[in-house]
Amino acid sequence: MELIDQHTKKIMEGCKQRALKAGLRFNDETLEYIVTNRDLLELSPKVMIPTLYDYWVHDVEVLKEKGKYELYPGNPYETVINTRPAISFYNDNNPDWLNVMIFYHVLAHIDFFQNNLFFRHTWDYDFTGQALADKRLIAKIRAEKGRWVDYVIEFSRSIDNLVSYHYELSRLNFPPPKLESKRIDFYFDMFLQQIKKVRIGAYLKEVERYNECFHQHGKKGEEIFFTDVESEHPEFETLYKKSHQKPPEHYLDLLQFLIAHSPFLKKEKNRWMIPILLVVRKTSMFFQPQIRTKIMNEGWASFWHETLFLQDDRIKGHEVDFARINAGVTSMPRVGLNPYALGMRLFYYIEEMANKGKYEFEFERLLDASQRRKYDKKTKTGRDFIFKIRENFSDFMFINTFVDQDFINRHKLFVAGKKLDKQRMVWQYYVKSRKLKAYRKMLLDTLYHPPHITIDNGKDLDEALYLVHHFEKKPLVKDFIGNTMMGIEYLWGAPVKLETSEAVPVASPQQAPAGAGTPVIPQDDLQVAHIKWQRVVYTMENRKLSKKVLE
């Protein structure tokens, strides 16, 4: 692995100038490395972070990928990671014209990393440097504790798969409002409605008075408004301060809870495990936004590599080569999902709709199909609109907001079903649905959605840790419950209980003949009509798993 030569770096700098002129925003400092395919195979298990901590599973993955490569050689074009400065890796046999295309793709990724708000908590430090420090820390602990370090890493990573970071990401990316705004919220939401219980007319007059103060006095309007409030309600300030004396509720995910409250980890001889849990959690937090923006990120990069490459005079003579490679990257499969293709087409579609003014309220009010089809205000705001989408959305919001029936019809998209042809013993694929609801559900089902598991502190269970799975019609994978709970039991130092929901088949007896009594039907003759969900509790105690059905 080595830095690209000056000739290739000059090409990259030219791409940067054109990308910045088109509106992309990113730090000017970047590092580009030339790597072989085998180098990429060794970096892939570490999510392309060369300095990530060592773990035996990484070595197993490298061996597995090398075996696959021997049978099915591949040629990945590039990989870029969100660090400071941004680091990207390129295949060692790319021609110059292909590097132009790839550089545009990489620069769009960097723009996305450095401007999408879900990545905000990654902007203030260099993760490769932090990862190197963590790697050295774990290596030092491993030198003292040996293989037990790998057990703790394995337990932590299995728990990490059960942790939802929505609260933490929300806290990091969308900090709470300033104290002044909290005073307004308390006055209108709590003081007037729950303490004073004023009538609706008086409440609306207070809202009107606040708006008038704000418009007349600007930033001082709030201060003047509360001066009048305190003269009329002298108890308000005391009640407001008392409301903030309560400690704010802070949700702890499972790893945080173990670090903070585990009796086992608090023992002096076990404290060395806590830094390992912190490293695993911190590493996972860094990659969370990439998991949640896969379609947008790849779509944004594909949108810009196509847009900028076609305007670049350096592609002359290679138009056909570009078309062939670009089609391989961004073609829409008839069955399955290509995030590059779907994301790119959605950005093109959103830009077109915004240019026509079809995201305005005036268009939403139209009911006539012909008028909606011909509607075009020529706003020329489409490019600015997609930049705002890039800044504020995740995959879930992106799909839920902009995948509509017109988009599905335009690209002839559908949900595919499959059935077994018993004569030829092959699977037959067919068009199951072209409806928006079905297609959007298919897309949302492909997104990362970890189970929502919380700790119930109200259970009196003789120091057992009681976990509650908030069921969302997606059961836990039974194959992983035992090993994961064994790891939790070890790190907690006491029994662990997990409450969740499981599917139970509901059997419907065959219809009895007329005039006959209720027949006794053998179990094998029962026909499953549907399923119901029942709550169960798994208990892991002394490395033995048991299950109990709740009433």
Counted residue by residue, the chain has a size of 551
What is the helix (H) or strand (E) element at residue 30, kind and residue range?
Answer: strand 30-35
What is the helix (H) or strand (E) element at residue 311, kind and residue range?
Answer: none
Based on its alpha-carbon atoms, the radius of gyration of the chain, rounded to whole angstroms, reads: 29
Instruction: Report the 3 state secondary structure along 428-493.
Output: EEEEEECCHHHHHHHHHHCCCCCCEEEECCCCCCCCCEEEEEECCCCCCCHHHHHHHHHHHHHHHC
Stretch among 110-119, 416-425, 539-548 having the lowest mean pLDDT: 416-425
* Residue 510 confidence class, pLDDT cut points 50, 70, 90: low
* Residue 485 confidence class, pLDDT cut points 50, 70, 90: very high
Which one has a higher pLDDT value, 316 or 130?
130
Give the CA distances from residue 478 to residues 309, 456, 538, 542, in Å, rounded to whole numbers and listed in that order: 48, 22, 11, 19
| pLDDT for position 521 | 42
| pLDDT for position 472 | 86
SS3 541: strand
Rounded to an integer, what distance in angstroms lies between the CA atom of residue 538 and that of residue 500? 8
* Residue 460 confidence class, pLDDT cut points 50, 70, 90: low
Whether residue 522 is predicted with pLDDT greater than 60 in this model: the reply is no
pLDDT tens digits for range 60-92: 777 666 676 566 655 666 788 899 899 998 877
Give the CA distances from residue 307 to residues 61, 84, 90, 384, 495, in Å, rounded to whole numbers and listed in that order: 36, 26, 21, 15, 58
Rounded to an integer, what distance in angstroms lies between the CA atom of residue 154 and that of residue 280? 10
Q: What percent of the chain has pLDDT over 90?
A: 40
Whether residue 519 is predicted with pLDDT greater than 50 in this model: the reply is no
Name which of 283, 252, 289 is nearest 397 in CA terms: 289
What is the helix (H) or strand (E) element at residue 261, kind and residue range?
Answer: helix 254-261
Name which of 372, 435, 442, 369 is nearest 408 in CA terms: 435
Q: Report, as an integer, the average pLDDT of 225-236.
A: 84
| pLDDT for position 243 | 75
Written as one letter, the residue type at 371 is: Q
Stretch among 23-27, 157-161, 432-436, 487-491 having the lowest mean pLDDT: 157-161
Give the CA distances from residue 387 to residues 86, 348, 405, in Å, rounded to whole numbers and listed in that order: 20, 12, 23
Q: Report, as an integer, the average pLDDT of 454-473.
A: 80
* Residue 199 confidence class, pLDDT cut points 50, 70, 90: confident
| pLDDT for position 144 | 94
Here the contacts of 533-537 (C-beta below 8 Å, separation 24 or greater) are 533/471, 533/501, 533/502, 533/503, 533/504, 534/501, 534/502, 534/504, 535/499, 535/500, 535/501, 536/499, 536/500, 536/501, 536/502, 537/497, 537/498, 537/499
The b/e string for 50-83 (b: 16+ C-beta within 10 A; e otherwise) is: bbbbebeebeebbeebeeeeeeeeeeebbbbbbb
pLDDT tens digits for range 232-268: 888 888 888 777 665 555 678 889 889 989 999 999 9
Hey, which of 88-92, 220-224, 542-546 has the most confident mean pLDDT? Answer: 542-546
Mean pLDDT of the chain: 85
Whether residue 462 is predicted with pLDDT greater than 70 in this model: the reply is no
What is the helix (H) or strand (E) element at residue 122, kind and residue range?
Answer: none
Show Cβ contacts of residue 403 under 8 Å, excluding neighbours closer than 6 positions: 346, 436, 439, 440, 443
Stretch among 67-76, 105-114, 361-370 having the lowest mean pLDDT: 67-76
